[in-house]
């Protein structure tokens, strides 16, 4: 195979683009895809400060790497979920990356904010672990951004993530979620910051290749609570479709964004209020995060998880 751009020997084949690239030209391709995402959706201006949510994984650290090299004013945000050794290692990866690149990193701990780490939240609420985790992350990303004066939060969601989320929403016809399926969500309330996903044009495989070529040290292990998650099953289905028909995930997601999402967006009419307790945005009187904190406190959130995931005093 030859590199589409320079004609030299290619090292990475991208079947969905019917192209192959040498390492330097692939890195250039990757960065151009990020720039195009930011430009097309007007995610943020060159002089705006961006809060980059980082987990220690390849996607978020690759995004941070690109934005730093593009000259964006970035600060990382790591949310410590308290998931045993996984959180210890992922936090260390983020701290080392920030130190090596000379960029600031904010650390917010879920246990301090909710009253318990994610493993205990899972135990005392009997919810799937991704439920309390996702709720906490969305709330804290927005609140930290507001507190530190960031107008926008960037996350490392890639094409595979977005296609799997859309697949799940369509499978169950969650029409309330479809208007929010977007690479860029506007601030629809003074206490909501913009949320953007500059990697949505790039697949998980492409992000892994970028991280490898850039020698980014990221956590390889999956979250221990990810096993059995429906999003993983949806990704596996889409991967089989992609193998049979390269570009299937791209066509599915981009077709929705271009042709279907506007109809669901017009149908959405939600009244936003401020939580009576914390002041953050909610559709009711008390936000879901404060309700979760109350539930954790009431059901024993002061307990800590033992090494095997069971609760211990």
Question: What pLDDT is recorded for position 267?
Answer: 57
* 103: Cβ contacts below 8 Å, ≥ 6 apart: 64, 68, 74, 75, 76
Rounded distance, CA 38 to CA 72, Å? 12
* % residues pLDDT > 90 (the chain): 81
Query: For residue 266, what pLDDT band results from cuts at 50, 70 and 90?
Result: low
Beta-bridge partner residues of 154? 52, 196
pLDDT at 182 over 90: yes
- pLDDT tens digits along 203-230: 999 999 999 999 999 999 989 988 888 8
- pLDDT tens digits along 271-298: 899 999 999 999 999 999 999 999 998 8
What is the residue-averaged pLDDT of the chain? 92
Question: What pLDDT is recorded for position 126?
Answer: 79
- pLDDT tens digits along 159-170: 999 999 999 999
pLDDT at 309 over 80: no
- pLDDT tens digits along 49-104: 999 999 999 999 999 999 999 999 999 999 999 999 999 999 999 999 999 999 99
pLDDT at 300 over 70: no
What domains, with CATH codes, occur in the chain?
23-267 (3.40.50.620)
- pLDDT tens digits along 31-45: 999 999 999 999 999
229-262 in b/e burial notation, b at 16+ Cβ within 10 A?
A: beeeebbeebbebbeeeeebbbebbbebbeeebe
Q: What is the pTM of this model?
A: 0.92
Mean pLDDT in residue range 185-209: 96
Phi, psi of 251 (to 5 degrees): -65, -40
Query: For residue 310, what pLDDT band results from cuts at 50, 70 and 90?
Result: very low
254-257: long-range contacts (C-beta < 8 A, 24 or more apart)? 256/166, 256/181, 257/181, 257/182, 257/183
* 180: Cβ contacts below 8 Å, ≥ 6 apart: none
């Amino acid at each position: 195979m030859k590199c589409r751009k320079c004609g030299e020997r290619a090292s990475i084949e991208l079947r969905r683009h019917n192209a192959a690239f040498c390492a330097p030209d692939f890195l250039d391709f990757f960065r151009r895809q990020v720039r195009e995402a930011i430009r097309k959706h007007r995610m943020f201006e060159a002089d705006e400060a961006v809060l980059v949510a980082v987990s220690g994984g390849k996607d978020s650290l690759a995004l941070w790497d690109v934005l730093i090299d593009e000259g964006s004013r970035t600060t990382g945000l790591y949310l410590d979920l308290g998931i045993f050794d996984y959180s210890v290692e992922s936090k260390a990866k983020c701290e080392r990356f920030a130190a090596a690149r000379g960029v600031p990193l904010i650390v917010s701990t879920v246990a301090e904010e909710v009253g318990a780490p994610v493993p205990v939240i899972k135990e005392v609420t009997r919810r799937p672990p991704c439920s309390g985790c996702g709720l906490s992350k969305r709330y804290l990303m927005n609140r930290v951004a507001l507190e530190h004066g960031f107008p926008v939060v960037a996350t490392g969601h890639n094409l595979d993530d977005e296609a799997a989320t859309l697949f799940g929403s369509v499978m169950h016809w969650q029409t309330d979620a479809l208007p929010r399926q977007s690479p860029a969500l506007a601030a629809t309330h003074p206490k909501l910051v913009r949320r953007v996903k500059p990697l949505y044009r790039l697949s998980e495989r492409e992000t892994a290749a970028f991280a490898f070529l850039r020698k980014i040290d990221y956590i390889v292990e999956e979250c221990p609570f990810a096993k059995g998650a429906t999003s993983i099953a949806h990704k596996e289905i889409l991967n089989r479709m992609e193998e049979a028909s390269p570009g299937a995930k791209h066509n599915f997601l981009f077709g929705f964004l271009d042709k279907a999402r506007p109809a669901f967006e017009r149908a959405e009419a939600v009244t936003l209020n401020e939580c009576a307790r914390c002041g953050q945005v909610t559709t009711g009187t008390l936000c879901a995060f404060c309700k979760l904190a109350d539930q954790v406190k009431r059901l024993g959130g002061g307990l800590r998880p033992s090494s095997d995931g069971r609760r211990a005093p």
